[in-house]
Every structure is written in structure tokens, then in C-alpha cells.
Structure 1
Amino acid sequence: MPHRITEECLSCGVCADECPQGAISEGEDTYVIDPELCTDCGTCREACPNEAIVEE
């Protein structure tokens, strides 16, 4: 998977709202990216107000 959500995630949900593939969902502590659905478009990384999404 080319992107991952780090511990910096504040669980605001902006990334999930912006993901065109619906690949991001709320996990136990932070949001998580489903590698089966992620197309590496980078929309989530650009939308994250806390810069908590990084490229692998």
C-alpha cells in the first residue's frame, strides 16, 4: 500500500470523506486505509489537516 495513516491522526474524518474509492474507515485508534481499495490517488494525503498520511 503506497499510503498509511500515522499516529498523528486526530480521527477528524476528513480523509474518509474525501477518498473517492471509499478506502478509508474508522479504526480502533485512528482511521485506516484498506489496501484492497486504495488506488494511490493521494487525495487523502492532500486533504489531511494534520499531515498524518504519508507515502510508504
Structure 2
Amino acid sequence: MATFIIGAIVFGLLFLALWSMIKKSKDNKGGCGCGCSGCSSKKLCNSEIELKHK
């Protein structure tokens, strides 16, 4: 029973982390968090590719 509870907690935390990353990606707030004004990799983080939503 303890294994199930610990597993559920771990999977819950994993789900929250993935959900947060996806939400930040959709809002264009993803990346390293250091700001993009002087970053040489700005084009990689903020690509022009748009996700199609249904």
C-alpha cells in the first residue's frame, strides 16, 4: 500500500511539472528564464512554429 501511495505522489508531481512546462510553452514563457534580449539562441527558443489547437 505504501508503494502505491508513493508512486501516486511521484506521478502526480511528474504530471504537474509536465503541465507547467506545456503551459509555459503555449504562453511563450518557456526557455531558460534569463530573458532573450541579448541571447544568441533567441531564435531557437522563440521559433515561429505555431501549434494547431483543435
Query: Taking structure 2 as the reference length, what is the TM-score of the superposition?
Result: 0.23
Structure with higher helix content = 2
Bigger RCO of structures 1 and 2 (CA < 8 A, at least 6 apart): 1
Query: Taking structure 1 as the reference length, what is the TM-score of the superposition?
Result: 0.23
Structure with higher strand content = 1
Structure showing greater Rg: 2
